[in-house]
Amino acid sequence: MTISMHQTSVALGRALNNLAAILQKAATHAELKKIDPAVLLNSRLYPDMFPLVRQIQIATDTVRSGVARIAGIEFPAYEDKETTFAELSTRIQNTITYLQSIKPEQLEGREDVTVTWQTRSSTKSMQGLPYLLQHVVPNVYFHVTTAYNILRHNGVEIGKKDFLGNT
């Protein structure tokens, strides 16, 4: 059995759905414990790491831009202005909706296409399949995991089942 570029890309939606569920638990936790939501939203694991809000922004940006670059299409840009759990949830849902709009024929057969993108310090290029498997997927999971860890570190009662979702 082979796994396709489309299947791999769409599977990222599951990580985002689980992230949305974790955020809902965080919002409930903040309300029940009388914690200002901004405290959780701006929390970070270490001073030189991005806060929760930015982790979620990067995860959603990586999904949208990564899949679009492979497909050779423009991707919607989101302003990074979320300041509430509800706004972050909307961002995640918009990203999932975008991901679901990508048709298999937009990704299949693009394993060898050259994907080029700009980082903060340089321009990078990879072929489509390595870009998806070695850049997009690990980056999405890194930022989703970091968001999970920030919330868990701050006392939100979440566990591995929340991260993995219903399997």
Instruction: Tell me the per-residue pLDDT of 117-165, one tens digit each, with 9 for 90 and over.
Output: 998 899 999 999 999 999 999 999 999 999 999 999 999 999 999 999 9
Domains of the chain: 5-164 (1.20.120.450)
Measured distance CA(126)–CA(115) in Å, rounded: 5
- Mapping DSSP onto H, E and C, the string for the chain reads CCCCHHHHHHHHHHHHHHHHHHHHHHHHHHHHCCCCHHHHHCCCCCCCCCCHHHHHHHHHHHHHHHHHHHHCCCCCCCCCCCCCHHHHHHHHHHHHHHHHHCCHHHHCCCCCCEEEEECCCCEEEEEHHHHHHHHHHHHHHHHHHHHHHHHHHCCCCCCHHHHHCCC
- The pLDDT confidence band at residue 2, using thresholds 50, 70 and 90, is confident
Q: What is the pLDDT of residue 133?
A: 97
CB contact at 8 A, 146 and 49: yes
pLDDT band of residue 1 (cuts 50, 70, 90) is: low
Interacting residues of 156 by C-beta distance below 8 A, sequence separation 6+: 22, 25, 26, 29, 40
Cβ-based neighbours of 22, under 8 Å, separated by 6 or more: 147, 148, 151, 156, 158, 162, 163
Bridge partners of 117, per DSSP, are 124
Q: Is the pLDDT of residue 46 over 80?
A: yes
* Alpha carbons 8 and 133: distance in angstroms, whole number: 8
What was the pLDDT predicted at 72? 96
* Angle, CA 79 vertex, CA 158 and CA 150 arms, to 5°: 20
Given a cut of 80, is residue 35 above it in pLDDT?
yes
